[in-house]
């Protein structure tokens, strides 16, 4: 079938939309290179001073570190909980599983502002406002559904007869889990861990409500910088974040390819 005029126009339009989606973020690059003290486009002259400030300022560095710690902890906890949960739901053959699954996905679907109220309400009486445990707890609840989804997707390709075979050969529950199920859902687990990390690393709305001073994550500092709208260090931070996004994206693409290869070799 030959593509008609409409198709061709639409294809050009599609590329333009894709550029519209990606290009605006790149404005951060020139702004971050301005030699001036305030947010502006550089005019002929470029300077790395804002990057230097970003990487030497204790404030920004501590935000990077805090976000890293919180995101890594969240990723570990969410991956553990989410993987167990996905395997559990997969093994239970009951009509209730879909309802339970939908229920467990709620934290992901419910608008963030409501989640922010929820955690604010939860953490104030617990005395965990503005603390690592508080933020990690909140982020874990939000991120685990993502792991649940990715691992469940991996399990959908997994042949339950393999598990049966493993048991028939005398393997215990634990051995079956460790030697048979986990290896085959590995790509889903990795992808889930990555998504959980990113979610926590990027999370701003809930964080705005439950952190204030002791814990000051990177998005929190960005938010402040954007609201104040003066310091070009924010632009440098945005560039770094874009770079990190691209790296994470490359990693996830590799995982996805592996998964595709794994699926293909099984067929």
Partner 1 sequence: MQDKQFMKETLLDGARAYRAGRMDRRTFLALCGAAGVATNAVLAGDAQAAADHIVMWNWGGISEECHGNAIGVPFTEKTGMGMRFDTSGPLEGKIREMVDSGNVTADVADGDLFNAVSLGPTGHLEAIDYDIVSKERTLPQYALEYGVSVILYGYAFVYDTEAYGDNPPQNWADFFDTEKFPGTRSLYKWANGSLEAALMADGVPGDQLYPLDMERALAKIQSIKDDSIYWGSGSEVHSMVVSGEASMAIIWQNRGKNIEEDTEGRYKLVNNQAMAMPGAYIVPKGNPAGREAAMQFIATAQEVPSQLAILECLGMTPSNPEAFSQIPEHQQAYAITSAQNIDKIVFNDPVWWGENSSEAVNAFLDAIS
Partner 2 sequence: MQALTRYISPGWLLVAPFFLLVVAFYLGPLVNILWLSLTDPEPGLGNYRMLTESDALARILWTTLRICAITTVFSVVIGYCLAYAMVHAHQKSQNWMLTLLLISFWISVLVRTFAWLMLLGHNGVVNSGMEAIGLIDRPVRFMRNELGVLIGMVHYMIPYAVLPLMANMQTLDPRVMAASRNLGANGVQTFRRIYLPLTIPGIVASSLLVFILSLGFYVTPAILGGGRVLMVAEYISVQLLVTLRWGTAAMLGTLMLIGVLALLWIMSRFMRLTTVFGGGATR
- Evaluate whether 145 touches 101 at the Cβ level (below 8 Å): no
Number of residues in contact with partner 1, rule: CB under 8 A? 17
Span interacting with partner 1, options 16-24, 117-125, 184-192, 200-208, rule CB under 8 A: 117-125
Residue among 66, 73, 79, 150 that touches partner 2 (CB under 8 A):
150
Within 224-253, which residues bind partner 2 (CB under 8 A)?
Answer: 226-227, 229, 234-235, 238, 241-242, 245-246, 248-249, 253
Closest CA to 64 of 216, 203, 197: 216
Span interacting with partner 1, options 8-16, 62-70, 119-127, 164-172, rule CB under 8 A: 119-127
Q: Where are the alpha helices (DSSP H) in the chain?
A: 5-22, 28-32, 49-56, 58-91, 96-109, 112-126, 132-156, 160-168, 173-175, 182-202, 205-210, 218-228, 233-266
Residue 6 or residue 213: which is nearer to partner 2 going by CB? 6
Residues 6+ apart with CB under 8 A from 25: 238, 242
Residue among 4, 58, 111, 170 that touches partner 1 (CB under 8 A):
58
Within 104-143, which residues bind partner 2 (CB under 8 A)?
Answer: 104-122, 137, 140-141
Q: What are phi and psi of 93, to 5 degrees?
A: -105, 95
Residue 172 or residue 214: which is nearer to partner 1 going by CB? 214
Rounded CA separation 38/115 (Å): 35
Rounded CA separation 66/260 (Å): 35
Span interacting with partner 1, options 124-132, 139-147, 158-166, 167-175, rule CB under 8 A: 124-132
Residues 6+ apart with CB under 8 A from 211: 129, 130, 134, 135, 217, 220
Q: Is residue 90 a contact point for partner 2 (CB under 8 A)?
A: yes
| In the complex, least distance from residue 117 CB atom to partner 1, rounded to whole angstroms | 12
| In the complex, least distance from residue 9 CB atom to partner 2, rounded to whole angstroms | 10
Would you tell me which residues interact with partner 1 (CB under 8 A)?
Answer: 38-39, 53, 56-58, 120, 124-125, 127, 129, 212-213, 227-230
């Amino acid at each position: 079938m030959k593509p008609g005029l409409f198709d061709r126009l639409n294809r050009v339009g599609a590329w333009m939309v894709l550029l519209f989606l990606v290009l605006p973020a790149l404005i951060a690059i020139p702004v971050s290179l301005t030699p001036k003290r305030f947010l502006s486009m550089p005019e002929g002259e470029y300077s790395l001073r804002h990057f230097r400030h970003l990487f030497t300022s204790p404030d920004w560095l501590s935000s990077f570190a805090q976000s890293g710690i919180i995101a890594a902890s969240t990723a570990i906890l969410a991956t553990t909980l989410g993987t167990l949960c996905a395997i559990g739901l997969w093994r239970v053959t009951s009509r209730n599983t879909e309802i339970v699954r939908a229920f467990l996905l709620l934290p992901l679907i419910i608008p963030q502002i409501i989640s922010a109220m929820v955690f604010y309400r939860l953490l104030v009486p617990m005395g965990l406002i503005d603390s690592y445990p508080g933020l990690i707890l909140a982020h874990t609840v939000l991120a685990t559904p993502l792991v649940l989804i990715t691992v469940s997707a991996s399990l959908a390709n997994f042949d339950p007869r393999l598990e049966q075979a493993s048991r028939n050969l005398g393997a215990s529950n634990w051995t079956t889990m460790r030697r048979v199920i986990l290896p085959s859902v590995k790509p889903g687990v990795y992808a889930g861990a990555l998504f959980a990390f990113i979610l926590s690393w990027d999370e701003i709305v809930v964080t705005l409500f439950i952190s204030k001073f002791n814990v000051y994550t990177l998005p929190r500092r960005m938010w402040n910088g954007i609201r104040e709208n003066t310091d070009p260090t924010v632009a440098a931070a945005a560039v770094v974040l874009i770079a990190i996004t691209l790296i994470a994206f490359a990693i996830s693409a590799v995982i996805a390819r592996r998964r595709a290869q794994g699926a293909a070799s099984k067929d």
